[in-house]
Structure 1
Amino acid sequence: MLPQRTRLASKALIGRNFKLHIPRATFSTTTRRNGYDDTIQNLKIGAHTRVIFQGFTGKQATANAKESMEWGTNIVGGVKPNGSGEHLGKPVLPSVRAAMEQLKPDATGIYVAAHQATAAIEEAIEAEVPLIVAVAEHIPVHDIMRIHSMLQTQSKSRLVGANAPGIISAIGRCRIGFQPLPTFSPGHIGIVAKSGTLSYETVGSLTRAGVGQSLCIGVGGDVIAGTNFIDALKVFEQDEDTEAIIMVGELGGTTEEEAADWIKDYNRRVKNPKPIAAVIGGFQAAPGKVMGHAGAWTGLGEGTSETKYRALENAGVTMVDHPAKFGGVMKDILAKSGRNVQKIKQSAAQAQQRRSYHTSRPAHRLLATSTFTRPFQQTRSLHLTTDQSTDLLKTYNINLTSAPQNAPSSHYVGISPARAARSPSIIAAPTANPDQLHERVKRFPFDYREGPTPAVVNAAIAHMQLDAAPPKAKAQTAEVIQNLWRLYREKEAIDTHVSLAVSESQDELQIYNPYLFFDDAAFKSNKRQADLHALRDKASISPTDAEAEQAGIVYIPLATPTFSHGTTQKDTQIPTSSTASEPRNLVGTLVNGAGLAMNTNDVLHTRLSSPPFSTTSANFLDTGGKATSATIKTSFKLILSDPRVSVVFVNIFGGLTLCDMIAEGIILAFKEVGVEKPVVVRLRGTNEELGQKVLGEAKLPIHAFDDFEEAVRKVGELANGGR
């Protein structure tokens, strides 16, 4: 028997386009032909989905399981290594394989810390669990690449994550992740998102508009994701409950551009395609910085946020600049597509919770605060100095020279992630000229466990235009590639690149200009690469950066804008010291979640950098998925240390983070930091009304809003001298 709420929704969704489809187990165990792509349909979770938890008896998993089961998720048991018995009235089994045999789950949620997550994912793959949801942050990149080399050789298991909020069916009341349940309402809009906080903003806007959500897939913000935009789009295309689609993207990788190509083809081959809208974050990202999410940086040959936006727009996608607009936009494009918006709203209303999401509060405060959260220490990537890189490369038989002055040609080669292929790759270009490199670079993927094969190496050498080089130079190039790969694998690098030139005598390869980039999650999560981590020059870290890192905050000062027509981030300079000529009307932003922090800076620049305003953001500050009162206090201290800041904008969408906790942190900052600049606070989400009440009763000079656009206008007024 289906839950009563689901049966009510089923009766309400009448008509060909609005029939509630609650499939039974759809996960085939027959032999597949196309490998990992054949597991895409495993994403279609719902009321039928039987879920287990790995790490079931842990504190965070227990709280999450209780909340999910109360909501309607069909959790059938869990796993505790070498354990047995019962927990929450459900069986506990000693292994995933035992759980598969006895409980027949369709999906597993992995609720263990990052240092345990790799083994847990591999155990689930080996047991052939159809859907594996990994929410942990800071799983090392090399662990993920090895996992994907396993996934690519099979056709039973599909991975969502890691570093993702998970997947949730609002119609089927099935949550595998840590999404804020009061925000969701059953409906007909499918969502796929890199950012958790931006997806919650999107969900909240749809709920307020009365159209609700069907299936929401959080692909996560890691360098390599188990499920990407195209995978989700394929599911939404076939899903009877999904009438329109929303994409939430950000800088990093090329999956948005690849999705745009898929959408162009979809719009050509389908008579009445489902309308699609999207938002992209990261236009104001600081060059060369990792913007909160481990994968939020633009690699060589990858597009910017602007190119992603243009690609989607050219594919016919309706673009918005902030997810709070999605509710109205989706109703508009649904109507233009000929779909019955009123019937969609009526069907969603029948299944909606009695109380509006933004006024409801969890029945038990303890449950809300103990719901599963990821550690809030953010990724800090490790770069080496030139001398350190030289010494390290020498141990791998790569001897550097100074850059040649009269070389007839230059070449570029290295090892780098191929995000779309979910594997490492040789990255190569027939030039090392920085002005041409971005356009001429190409990646040649290979299997992580196998390493670069002779065929892949030769293809890269041909692209470098060295296939006709003297035999010795060509052999040396192949040797450099293999040595770079050995360094890459053994030291768990993200990028290992060098420039090459063939000497005038044609008998020696010159190697110069190294670029080594390491993911220190291997050390921070798994205590690997301690010798490499010890090379980090702590003396070069500013006191502000050190304090931010200690508090688990990502704090990045942004460049001072010139506000000339067409200004972009590359036209600006980050000041090295305060001078009288610097603008002092910039906005310090404090946001929970990397995606929302990027989008907040983007919108401030768009809204406030032209008349009647002349301001924009001074910083990117992400408190992480879980903020505490102490974290908020430290964030204010960091923001106010920048003399350019004239107003502080706190923009919170409470999912994991409770709005009342944020409010208490702001009050603490006023008491202990000494806040003398005007503060604008915008609170939405979990415990929103309580947070507003806490701020109101404090009687402090705080301008509080729940509407984003009103808050931004007030920020502009205050930054430009208004009160």
Structure 2
Amino acid sequence: MTRLSSLTAGARRAPLLRASVKQIKHFSSSSRYCDYADTLPNLKIGAHTRVLFQGFTESLAWGTKIVGGVKPGVEGEHLRLPVFPSVKAAQDRAKPDASAIYVPGNQTAKAIEEAIEAEIPLVVAVAEHVPLHDILRLHSILKTQSKTRLVGANCPGIISAIGKCRIGFQPLPCFAPGNIGIVAKSGTLSYETVASTTRAGLGQSLCISMGGDLLAGTNFVDALKIFEEDPDTEGIMLVGEIGGTAEMDAAEWITDYYRRTANPKPIMALVGGRQAPPGRIMGHAGAWTAPGDPGPEEKYKALERAGAVMVNHPEKFGEGMKTLLSGRSSSLGSGKRGLHTMRRATPQSRRVSLQKTQARTLYIKQFQALDILKENVIFVNEGAQSASDLFLSLTIDRTALSPTLIASSSAGFELSSSVRIPFAYTTEQFSAQNPLIEAAAGRLQLPASAQEKLAELVQALWQIFKEKEAFVLEVRANYASETLEVRGARFGFDDAAFRSSGRQEDVHKLRNVAEEVPEEVEAEKGGIVYVKLEGEGSIGTLVNGAGLAMNTVDALSIHGGHCANFLDTGGKATSETVKSSFRIITSDSRVKAIFVNIFGGLTRCDMIAEGIIMAFRDLNMSVPVVVRLRGTNEESGQKMISESGLPLHAFDSFEDAAKKVISLAQGGQ
């Protein structure tokens, strides 16, 4: 098997600064050389894959070879399969190739660590709301070993349609064995993509979910490398969105791939969130733009320049790929046996400034951030911005999978005036002689005498970052008269640490919901993510899934519509969530029509249709609603909407539905 080359962190990043090896927990004792990139082949699941479920209650349908489950301290049987008291015991007796982790977010890190320690080749974690600092710690462990590959967290998993192996919770009726490899950040957008290829008669070979969190165990480039080598994969689809640089890294890989390959596999792509307000958190924990991140248009153009064929809606993937494949000599029928059925063989970036308002629920006010700095013995002298100010940001590097320090002479963190320095999560102290401090001081043109003060500030930020579980700490400072004083600050903290694990309550109490958008606060109570959009929006949107919700706003805008909101029901669309969503949407007087775009995966479309009808009646709504239902039992659901006798309009095609809702919003029929 070809050994795949490791990922680079990107030409614009300084080398990752590592702590002493003795500070990092190691798990792979069977090999002296450890490189996480060596685990890439573990993604090639199929009929041969023996799966261990850590917290499983799923059925054995579809042919997945589940060898057992784990319940700590308990040994027995469930669904005629063994239940092991630990992952180590399962590894010793069942020899699983993969482990599916279905435990809640606050238990996920512990379960992953146990699987790494047992050297399970592939670990798939599906839970969302995994605390960010738990994942940072796990990645510091993953980098020290070469046995275990992680997919997730916050993803539907990985599935081989050819090999009939599902490790996750993907809606099986959408899948069909075929020749298209799909990698996506968004679950619902990936299901739409899968359904499109199934409808086009192409089917899928392997589908890998990158997930919507800040830090992904497997990224786009990892998946692209697998698809390149996979004889079952004839075409490739990539589904990205705002946040991070994974799409830019993928564009670089695609450019190189097309340059060095005589008959390359066609690649198509989509980028969700092109209409997202700058700086907003759009449903997924990772769907926000950090300092130094490219914007969605930059990602779109980079992929397009690289040679990927871009679409604005996943519905267009299937027929588009059929056209591309017809122009390429196919290896289908060549007699090659794919890995999925074999037995197992032994641009200029948009910046976010300090002054940009964001809607993360745990962004605190400047005076609160400054108070925290004072508690950490940092000199604060709040004041207006001046030309001599310098800027520091301690945040997350999504490619290096580690913390990073950004030092800049510009409030906008422009590329030409900034340096980005990833470092190990296990780092303890920053001295004036630390290479990170020296690099930052050099970028900021500080004299050698100032490095001690800079080290003290960075050390304080790092202590706050770890102890309070922050995801971004930004400060504006000034060095004059041998003194480094902080004049402004903006701090954001991980809400998952509080929501799923009950940590950081003192930070969470700093939030003042009275100053937030009332509709957004109300939606949050029901587990709904609602973002009120500015402007002349007349179309309310109701969608299940953050990626699909972003793309819905994008696609309606391309068709000439003006959306009043982004709304993600959280992956489900029960009658209660639909009712709550309708209530919130109609509280906006601008809304003249509502567009419901639902992909019924594990939840059937007929059940969703019943929920929509009940909610519409209970609220005595008069605003016309266009409903596009796709997925499981879509025809039954569409029929129920059409025959309801209510001002509900059912559609299968997104194009037709978009035209109808835009017409209704403009006063048409």
TM-score normalised by structure 2 residue count: 0.89
4+ residue segments displaced more than 4 Å: 404-407
Paired position in structure 1 for 2:355 = none
Partner SS state of residue 676, structure 1:
coil
Picking from 315, 321, 324, the partner of 1:324 is 315
Select the residue among 532, 536, 551 that pairs with 1:599.
551
Give the counterpart of 2:588 among 621, 633, 642: 642
Contact 2:437 2:451 in 1 (8 A): no
**Corresponding residue number in structure 1 for 2:421:** 444
State the match for 1:82 in structure 2: 73
Residue aligning to 1:51: 51
Secondary structure, in 3 states, of the residue corresponding to 1:526?
Answer: coil
State whether residues 625 and 657 of structure 1, in contact with CA within 8 Å, keep that contact through their aligned partners in structure 2: no
Is residue 599 of structure 2 the alignment partner of residue 653 of structure 1? yes
Q: Which residue of 2 aligns with 1:411?
A: 390
Alpha-carbon displacement from aligned partner over 1:233-274 (angstroms, at most 9, x marks no partner) = 111111110111100000000010011001111111122111
Q: Partner amino acid for 1:294?
A: A
3-state DSSP of counterpart to 2:592 = strand
| Per-residue Cα deviation, 1:510-548 (whole angstroms, up to 9, x for no partner) | 212201011111011111111111111132234322220
**Aligned to 2:293, what secondary structure does the other structure show?**
coil
* Unmatched segments (≥5 aa) in structure 2: 1-27, 342-358
Q: Does 1:247 align with 2:238?
A: yes
Secondary structure of the corresponding residue to residue 187 of structure 1: strand
Deviates more, 1:109-118 or 1:436-445: 436-445
Counterpart for residue 487 of structure 2: 512
Residue 293 of structure 2 is aligned to residue 302 of structure 1:
yes
Q: Does 1:256 pair with 2:247?
A: yes
CA distance in 2, matches of 1:594, 1:461: 40
CA distance in 2, matches of 1:592, 1:175: 22
Of 179, 187, 192, 1:188 maps to 179
- Report the CA distance shift for 1:323/1:687 in structure 2 as closer, same or farther (over 3 A): same
Is residue 425 from structure 1 mapped to residue 416 from structure 2 by the alignment? Answer: no
The answer for the alignment partner of 1:456 in structure 2 is: 436
Partner of 1:557: 532
Task: Quickly say closer, same or farther: Cα 1:705–1:340, change in 2 above 3 A.
Answer: farther
Is 2:616 the counterpart of 1:670? yes
Aligned to 1:18: none
Distance 1:109 1:307, change over 3 A: same
Segment drifting more, 267-276 vs 101-110: 267-276
8 Å contact 2:244–2:293 — kept in the other structure? yes
Contact 1:654 1:683 in 2 (8 A): yes
Indicate which of 453, 461, 464 corresponds to 1:487: 464
Amino acid at match of 1:502: Y
Question: What does residue 169 of structure 2 align with?
Answer: 178
Contact preservation (8 Å) 2:152, 2:210: yes
Aligned to 1:587: 539
After TM superposition, give the deviation of residue 690 of structure 1 in Å.
2.3
Shift of 1:340: 6.9
**In the alignment, does 2:188 pair up with 1:197?**
yes
Residue 7 of structure 2 corresponds to: none
Counterpart residue number, 1:525: 500
Distance (whole Å) between structure 1 residues aligned to residue 227 and residue 576 of structure 2: 41
Out of 221, 226, 230, the residue aligned to residue 212 of structure 2 is: 221
Contact kept? 1:390, 1:399, Cα under 8 Å:
no
**Is 1:162–1:222's contact at 8 Å kept on the other side of the alignment?**
yes
Query: CA–CA distance in 2 between the matches of 1:49 and 1:381?
Result: 41
- Label 1:71 to 1:398 Cα distance change in 2 as closer, same or farther (>3 A): same
Where 2:646 maps in the other structure, the secondary structure is: coil
Alignment of 1:532-547 (within 5 A): 532-547=507-522
Contact 2:280–2:360 (CA under 8 A) maintained in structure 1: no
2:454 maps to 477
Partner Cα distance (1:516, 1:126) in 2: 35
One-letter identity of the residue aligned with 2:438: N
Query: Which residue number corresponds to residue 500 of structure 1?
Result: 477
1:717 aligns with 2:663: yes
| 1:149 aligned residue (129, 134, 140) | 140
Relative to structure 1, the CA distance from residue 381 to residue 228 in structure 2 (aligned partners, 3 Å threshold; closer, same or farther) is farther
Deviation at 1:281, TM superposition (A): 0.3
Quick check: 1:414–1:484 contact (8 Å CA) kept in 2?
Answer: no
Give, in angstroms, the shift of residue 694 of structure 1. 2.4
- Which residue does the alignment assign to 2:19? none
Q: Which residue does 1:354 correspond to in 2?
A: none
The structure with the largest helix share of the pair is 1
CA contact under 8 A between 1:36 and 1:154: conserved in structure 2?
yes
Q: Quote the offset at 1:291 in angstroms.
A: 0.1
TM-score norm. by structure 1 comes to 0.83
Q: Say yes or no: does 1:38 pair with 2:34.
A: no
Partner of 1:312: 303
Percent identity at matched positions? 57
8 Å contact 1:194–1:221 — kept in the other structure? yes
Q: Which runs of 5+ in 1 are unaligned?
A: 1-27, 57-61, 352-378, 561-582, 609-614
User: Do the aligned residues in 1 keep the contact of 2:360 with 2:492 (CA within 8 Å)?
Assistant: no
**Structure 1 residues 32 and 40, CA gap change in structure 2 (3 angstroms):** farther
Distance in structure 1 (CA, Å) of the matches to 2:589 and 2:42: 52
Give me the whole-angstrom Cα distance separating, in 2, the residues matched to 1:697 and 1:544.
32
Distance apart, 1:29 and its partner CA = 10
Give the Å deviation of 1:698: 1.9
**Post-superposition offset of 1:460:** 2.3
Query: Cα distance 1:452–1:413, how it changes in 2: closer, same or farther (>3 A)?
Result: farther
Whether 2:370 is the aligned partner of 1:390: answer: yes
